[in-house]
Amino acid sequence: MISFAASISRPNFMRKVYLDSAATTQMRPEVIEKMTEVMQLSYGNPSSTHAYGRSAKSYIENARKTVAKYLNVTASEIVFTSGGTEADNLALNSAVRDLGVKRIITSKIEHHAVLYTVNQLQQCYDIEVEYVNLKDCGSIDLDHLVTLMQSSDEKTLVSLMHVNNEVGNILDLQKVGELCHQNGALFHSDTVQSIGHYEIDLQNTPVDFTAVSAHKFHGPKGVGFAYVRKNSGLKPLIFGGEQERGYRAGTESVHNIVGLAEALQISYDNLATEKPYTEGLKTYFMEQLEKEIPGVKFNGGCSNLVDSTYTLVNVCLPVSNDKAAMLLFQLDLNGIACSKGSACQSGSDKGSHVLNAILSEEDLNKPSVRFSFSSFNTKEELDYVVGVLKQFTEN
Ligand code: PLP
């Protein structure tokens, strides 16, 4: 008898398809070029007062102005960080420690940068934590959110992500922000999967704090920023020097900050062409999967392009549990990079906390895979992936 693994056609070692852009994106060549220029020409410490230092400092401040311009905020509201995780930590920690927040309302499908931080705060400060109910497909139950906000007089922070990194569900930031402010709550949103992919006028969105990460929009890893609304009273998490106007001590990573701004600028300048192109890839991929693999399902709100991001699809394959373990292995052997749940969990056996919160018992027993796209992908690559998946489900 031929084993299942052996029955899959020989992998094509020449072929490589990257469909894991929600984990991290390929850097744009223009961004690498700009960063290289900064590393070569402007290696001074931005805190030094000599010409080398002033040059580095001006690169940072120009980057801050670029970011502020694209998000319609003032430059002083941008605090550069080591990435999205630190920006989430900054807002949540300081809200509890410095702003008198005694209660956090969040959801079970947030990124661990929020969930684990909230757990930690609960242990350290004995704050109250409430989880808002999820509706079908994992969307946030806004009626329940309002009920929760109105059920206590304690100072409350709501932390709900804009675009879910595993299933792509989009939160109506405007509506949730208005509800929060009408009910006297502060609003923090993890916008790591949306900034750079959607135009957001932060000034006119009722959100107090957001977290952003450059490597999700073709920029470098290890850099991001927190948007901190003016006069919010937020205080630093990291102490030391006076960098970032005292909000975040430590010598700035000048080349990374410049790379972030360059990547953000290109993403927004190209959005009018790259967004429809990438959305076309997602639609095409879903159509081909439905055509070739009867019984395939799309998790969360993936099928709805209004309520779900155009950058990813989370696919539940109609195969038995015993084959599930082989799936990522087979895809990898065939040169296909994608993700089981979220990349931040790879190496752990716990499964996805997001899928655990929203899928039925039956669907949890089938393999689910997240494919995420960028404008660097092609339909031809997707045809190849559909072919490999089809073969896998039929064998
Ligand atoms: N928040 C979300 C929604 C993410 O997808 C990620 C990264 O996977 C993060 C936060 C963490 O960002 P960073 O890798 O920049 O720390």
Number of residues written out for the chain: 395
Q: Measured in angstroms, how far is the CA atom of residue 287 from the centroid of ligand 1?
A: 29
Quick one: CA torsion of 88, 146, 172, 21, rounded to 10 degrees?
40
Beta-bridge mates of residue 143: none
Q: From the CB of 20, is ligand 1 less than 6 Å away?
A: no
Does 322 lie in the same domain as 228? no
Q: pTM to 2 decimals?
A: 0.94
H or E element: which one contains 67? helix 51-71
Residue 24 lies in a domain: no
Does 224 lie in the same domain as 111? yes
Residue 348 lies in a domain: yes
Known catalytic membership, residue 344: yes
In angstroms, the CA 315 to CA 307 distance is 16
Q: Measured in angstroms, how far is the CA atom of residue 23 from the centroid of ligand 1?
A: 8
Q: From the CB of 220, is ligand 1 less than 6 Å away?
A: no
Q: From the CB of 252, is ligand 1 less than 6 Å away?
A: no
Instruction: Grade residue 377 by pLDDT with cuts at 50, 70 and 90.
Output: very high
Q: From the CB of 84, is ligand 1 less than 6 Å away?
A: yes
The closest-lying atom of ligand 1 relative to the alpha carbon of residue 163 is 3
Residue 254 lies in a domain: yes
Q: Measured in angstroms, how far is the CA atom of residue 353 from the centroid of ligand 1?
A: 15
Q: What is the mean pLDDT of residues 3-27?
A: 74
pLDDT at 1 over 90: no
Write down the mean pLDDT value for the chain. 93
CATH value at residue 97: 3.40.640.10
HEC sequence for 179-212: HHHHCCCEEEEECCCCECCECCCHHHCCCCEEEE
Residue 342 lies in a domain: yes
The closest-lying atom of ligand 1 relative to the alpha carbon of residue 87 is 16
pLDDT at 347 over 70: no
H or E element: which one contains 370? strand 368-372
Please identify, among 236, 269, 302, the residue that sits at the C-terminal boundary of a domain.
Answer: 269
Instruction: Grade residue 8 by pLDDT with cuts at 50, 70 and 90.
Output: very low
Q: Which residue has the tokens 């990291």?
A: 238
The closest-lying atom of ligand 1 relative to the alpha carbon of residue 85 is 16
183, with CB counted inside 10 A (0-12, 13-18, 19+), is middle
Q: What is the mean pLDDT of residues 257-284?
A: 98
Does 116 lie in the same domain as 164? yes
Q: Measured in angstroms, how far is the CA atom of residue 358 from the centroid of ligand 1?
A: 20
Does 212 lie in the same domain as 294? no
Residue 158 lies in a domain: yes
CATH value at residue 297: 3.90.1150.10
Instruction: Grade residue 13 by pLDDT with cuts at 50, 70 and 90.
Output: low
Q: From the CB of 256, is ligand 1 less than 6 Å away?
A: no
pLDDT at 342 over 80: no
- pLDDT in the model for residue 297: 96
Q: From the CB of 168, is ligand 1 less than 6 Å away?
A: no
Please identify, among 226, 243, 269, the residue that sits at the C-terminal boundary of a domain.
Answer: 269
Q: Give percent of the chain above pLDDT 70.
A: 94
For the chain, the domain total comes to 2
pLDDT at 343 over 60: no
Residue 145 lies in a domain: yes
Residue 108 lies in a domain: yes
Does 344 lie in the same domain as 222? no
- pLDDT in the model for residue 324: 76
Q: Measured in angstroms, how far is the CA atom of residue 363 from the centroid of ligand 1?
A: 26
Does 378 lie in the same domain as 230? no
Q: What residue's CA is closest to ligand 1, atom 2?
A: 192
Q: From the CB of 35, is ligand 1 less than 6 Å away?
A: no
Mutational test site, ligand 1, from 192, 193, 342, max ligand atoms within 8 Å of CB: 192
Does 347 lie in the same domain as 254? no
Please identify, among 223, 240, 269, the residue that sits at the C-terminal boundary of a domain.
Answer: 269
Q: From the CB of 212, is ligand 1 less than 6 Å away?
A: no
Does 51 lie in the same domain as 117? yes
- pLDDT in the model for residue 104: 98
Q: What are the Cα distances from residue 290, in Å, to 278, 287, 315, 330?
A: 19, 5, 11, 20
pLDDT at 302 over 90: no
Q: From the CB of 192, is ligand 1 less than 6 Å away?
A: yes
Does 372 lie in the same domain as 246? no
pLDDT at 105 over 70: yes
- pLDDT in the model for residue 345: 41
pLDDT digits (tens, 9 = 90+) for 61-98: 999 999 999 999 999 999 999 999 999 999 999 999 99
Q: Measured in angstroms, how far is the CA atom of residue 48 from the centroid of ligand 1?
A: 32
Does 246 lie in the same domain as 129? yes
pLDDT digits (tens, 9 = 90+) for 160-193: 999 999 999 999 999 999 999 999 999 999 999 9
Nearest to 340 by CA among 330, 224, 292: 330
pLDDT at 4 over 50: no
Does 294 lie in the same domain as 373? yes
Residue 187 lies in a domain: yes
- pLDDT in the model for residue 14: 64
Q: Measured in angstroms, how far is the CA atom of residue 98 from the centroid of ligand 1?
A: 24
- pLDDT in the model for residue 341: 55
Does 227 lie in the same domain as 96? yes
Q: From the CB of 113, is ligand 1 less than 6 Å away?
A: yes
Instruction: Grade residue 349 by pLDDT with cuts at 50, 70 and 90.
Output: low
Q: Which domain holds residue 310?
A: 5-19+271-394
Q: What is the mean pLDDT of residues 360-370?
A: 90
Structure-model confidence comparison of residues 136 and 229, the more confident one:
229
The closest-lying atom of ligand 1 relative to the alpha carbon of residue 110 is 3
